[in-house]
Amino acid sequence: MTAASWYHRDISRVVAEDLLAKAGKDGCFLVRDSESVSGAYALCLLFQRHVHTYRILPDEEGLLSVQTIQGIQAKCFRTLTDLIGAYQQPNNGLVIPLLYPVNRAREPVDEDSGESGGTGGCVCGEGSIWGAGFPTQCSSLCSEIDFTLAGLETLAKVFDPPASPRSPVREQVSPPLPQSLTLATTSLQLCGDRPVAQLGCHVLLNSAFCVRTQADSPVLLLQKREAFCQLLQLMKIQHSNLDEPDLISVYVGTWNMGSAPPPRSMASWLTSRGLGRTQDETTAGIPHDIYVIGTQENSLGDREWVEFLRASLKTLMSIDFRVVALQCLWSIKIVVLVKPEHERRISHVNTSSVKTGIANTLGNKGAVGVSFLFNGTSFGFVNCHLASGSEKTHRRNQNYSDILRSLVLGDKRLSSFDLTLRFTHLFWFGDLNYRLDMEVQDILAHVNKKEFEALLAVDQLTLEREKNKVFLRFSEEDISFPPTYRYERGSRDSYVWQKFKTTGVRINVPSWCDRILWKSRPETHVLCNSYGCTDDIVTSDHSPVFATFEVGVTSQFVPRKGKESLACIEWDSIEVIVKTASRSKCYIEFHSYCLEESQRSGENSSQSSDIPGFLKLSWSAKQLPVLSPILSDLEYLLDQHLLLSIKGMDSCESYGECCIAMRSMIGSLAQQFETFLFHRGEETGSMRGWMKVRVPKDRRSTRERLYGNTAMPLNCCCFRDMGSSSLLGDQGKPRVAGGSSPAAISPAPGGTRTGQALNKWEFPCCHSLCPLPSRVPSWERLGLEQLGVPAIWANSSVETLCCIPINLYSLCSVQSGSALRPTRRSPTSRPSPSQLCAPSGNCQHAAPWPLIC
């Protein structure tokens, strides 16, 4: 096939329509690869501001023809150029002859890593001496390059083996880890006669905040409070009686190693200690369930690197982690390690890689990815190294799009869906290479003052995300650590922003090149507990970056015995607005793990185009199928999601995809949903509608989970009126739901004492560690009985308004000067406004009630 100027290869439908709209002439055309049929093409033609798409299909002999309606003889051509030439003539069956080709843009020169480069793709006309042989020659050249590089790597291993991690290298001293905590033997200690803390409440402008002070010590830092909550959660996970976990911890690390061997110890990196939001010393020694390590410019051999990581983790955690996957692209590597007890829970492991180097044929830049199922939850991990240079923002955006489109991960049945929708949780990290658009001296001044907000305002990745150019709907934890690039090797005291190359001096301003982002399906549980960088690993000009996550997972569900009552998914209506200049009829394709096979709707019942460039489509209940899940149990359906794709009737190409959580749709009445449509990393429209998931009465039982409606961490408490923005209820008193106390307290652990049950105050459950998915205010009983804590009743609609430090180790009715612990007062008694708001005082009614020390 001739590399003609009108052939745009694998651009998306949206991009093709934008190019034709910019040309603006009737008869403008271009050819792109088909998104729905491998080896086919799509001829896009503009007429009267509408884009008409014709599918070009190859037959068994390789001849090309434009798809026609049944009964009409198709004209066959040997080459795409011959076909286009024939349809440039009038009266050829198209709405208008092909008159004005829309030429593709010349790809920019990529000079990453000092390598000499050329154009990403050469634009050759039909008269070029290269002709049709040019793409073939390029393909052969790529094969030769891969073969040569493979040979060079083999020779390097034989004659110049990489430095062993155990060989003498630059020695770095990390602060010693505290003694690893063994959760199974962690003891519960009595508080004894610890001084009673004071709780002062200040009311200002119809809002309130509480501050707890101590006579002999300063207010504890927020980090200590968070660490206690994490430790409490980890203990609950460890001591749960569940056969299968529903909450796991995931570690993600990324490091551009700068082609240098690693230090002997990487303890600070693997235990999330250093700068930024880091792991507390009390939890740093607790192993995570899954470790995902991504590196760039890693000169070590694949096997040697994996064994070095396993040995490092075994030294730190005394656990022999298992290797789930290793994927490499030149010096870009990703390794997934898992605890031995989880090895059997992981299945459907897939790996993939994409080259985005010079002309997208070299692997010096690109991405590697791994996907797998952890019981019933799908995970995806992508480690990438994007184009370098402050001026290469557009090139980096294109790298991201190429990776998103080309990585082959996840369920093959979902290959037509956007990569970001294929997984329950997708983590994307690496040396993204986005820079700061600010003068070097100004950046250094802000870094010295730790004024990171001012720098984030000029961060290229932040700006591109705000423009919806890359990483749509991804999340990133707040950055509270200094830029991780470009440091002087051997130290973290100064940045080196001048890079001397043969072509001159290149300025590399200090930047947050190394990032970790994630995207999860709606109404799932994922929480970032740390995000930072090390300050003691100095072998590279990049600092390693880490992040840890608490992730909810589902088990392989076994249906309960009982009569065969079937659940069903019913649709009342669906409305869609898509970005397109086409006027094709469309249908909806439904995919889900809970469906035996994919389903499709009829064509839309109505459509309109009130706004140029957008098409509004509607489906009524008559055109929408009733879906039957393979299992009807509520516990199973709560964790399921539906993937929907809007496709054209003529081309079967997707106009956009979306994901709907079934959790909020369960009930006898239809619930409204609204979501965005995505395609190839772009936002292409929106969808809204009404649906319901009917569950039989005998299938509605569920089990308690470690996340969702779970116990509130004891460092968060306040009282708020459900119908008011004020903390206080009627007559200035805290709101009480009902006049009776909750159920009696369960027996506490041996050696502890229990007090009376608490009043039914409104305890908020909106702490970062325990988000609640509830959509309506409702009272939930919080069970902390296993820790000896009395039952607490909580309202999930209340916001957290104050935080009380963690060494307040007891519970109380809120009153001046009392610790949080049960009182000897009447269960229905309420403190007066003066008691609630008094800044200090001594409580004479509180009885000690220990929790944890």
What are the backbone dihedrals phi and psi of residue 235, each rounded to the nearest 5 degrees, phi first? -65, -40
- The DSSP letter of residue 421 is G
Rounded to whole angstroms, the Cα distance separating 239 from 308 reads 31
User: In order of start, what are the domains of the chain with their CATH numbers?
Assistant: 13-101 (3.30.505.10), 196-230+707-853 (no CATH), 249-551 (3.60.10.10), 568-699 (2.60.40.150)
> Identity (one letter) of the amino acid at 317?
M
Residues 518, 425: contact at Cβ < 8 Å?
A: yes
Rounded to whole angstroms, the Cα distance separating 618 from 578 reads 11
Rounded to whole angstroms, the Cα distance separating 546 from 765 reads 28
Q: Please count the helices (runs of H) and the strands (runs of E) in the chain.
A: 12, 33
Short-list 713, 739, 634, 699, CA closest to 227:
713
Residues 97, 54: contact at Cβ < 8 Å?
A: no
CA angle, 201 then 207 then 209, to 5°: 35
Residues 677, 684: contact at Cβ < 8 Å?
A: yes
427 CB contacts (<8 Å, ≥6 apart)? 250, 252, 292, 379, 380, 381, 382, 516, 517, 518, 549
E-state strands within 680-715: 682-694
- The DSSP letter of residue 662 is S
Assigned token pair, 227: 């660490």
DSSP per-residue letters across 210-233:
EEEE-SSSPPPPHHHHHHHHHHHH
The secondary element (H helix, E strand) that includes residue 402 is: helix 393-406
Assigned token pair, 663: 């959790």
The secondary element (H helix, E strand) that includes residue 533 is: strand 526-533
**Bond prior to 680 in cis (omega within 30° of 0):** no
Rounded to whole angstroms, the Cα distance separating 264 from 268 reads 12
CA angle, 579 then 580 then 585, to 5°: 115
590 CB contacts (<8 Å, ≥6 apart)? 598, 599, 600, 601, 625, 627, 642, 643, 644
Assigned token pair, 481: 């650590």
DSSP per-residue letters across 550-595:
EEE------PPPS-----EEEEEEEEEEEE-S----EEEEEE-TTS
For residue 644, what are the β-bridge partners? 590, 658
Residues 690, 670: contact at Cβ < 8 Å?
A: yes
pLDDT recorded at residue 667: 93
Pairing of strands 41-47, 50-58: antiparallel
Q: What's the Cα-to-Cα distance from 804 to each of 202, 370, 567, 800, rounded to whole Å? A: 14, 41, 45, 11
Residues 245, 704: contact at Cβ < 8 Å?
A: no
The b/e string for 443-467 (b: 16+ C-beta within 10 A; e otherwise) is: bbebeeeeebeebbebbbbbebbee
CA angle, 27 then 29 then 32, to 5°: 165
DSSP per-residue letters across 311-379:
HHHHHHHS--PEEEEEEEETTEEEEEEE-GGGGGGEEEEEEEEEE-SGGGT-TTSEEEEEEEEETTEEE
**Mean pLDDT in consecutive groups of 10 residues from the start of the chain, 853 residues:** 78 89 92 88 91 90 85 85 92 90 72 38 36 48 62 55 40 47 38 40 34 41 58 55 84 98 97 94 90 98 97 97 97 98 96 89 90 97 97 96 95 93 98 97 97 98 97 97 97 92 87 99 96 98 98 80 79 96 93 94 94 94 96 92 95 94 94 95 95 90 60 32 32 33 30 32 32 35 41 36 31 33 35 37 35 29
Rounded to whole angstroms, the Cα distance separating 839 from 820 reads 16
Residues 443, 455: contact at Cβ < 8 Å?
A: yes
pLDDT recorded at residue 192: 41
**Bond prior to 486 in cis (omega within 30° of 0):** yes
Residue 782: strand, helix, or coil = strand
Residues 784, 792: contact at Cβ < 8 Å?
A: yes
Rounded to whole angstroms, the Cα distance separating 28 from 668 reads 52
Rounded to whole angstroms, the Cα distance separating 538 from 540 reads 6
Residues 202, 251: contact at Cβ < 8 Å?
A: no
Residue 454: strand, helix, or coil = helix
DSSP per-residue letters across 102-139:
-PPPPPPP--GGG-----SS----TT-SSTTHHHHHHH
CA 99 to chain centre: 45
Q: How far apart are the first and last CA of the chain?
A: 74
CA angle, 160 then 164 then 167, to 5°: 110
What are the backbone dihedrals phi and psi of residue 226, each rounded to the nearest 5 degrees, phi first? -65, -40
Quick count: other Cβ atoms within 10 Å of Cβ 610? 8
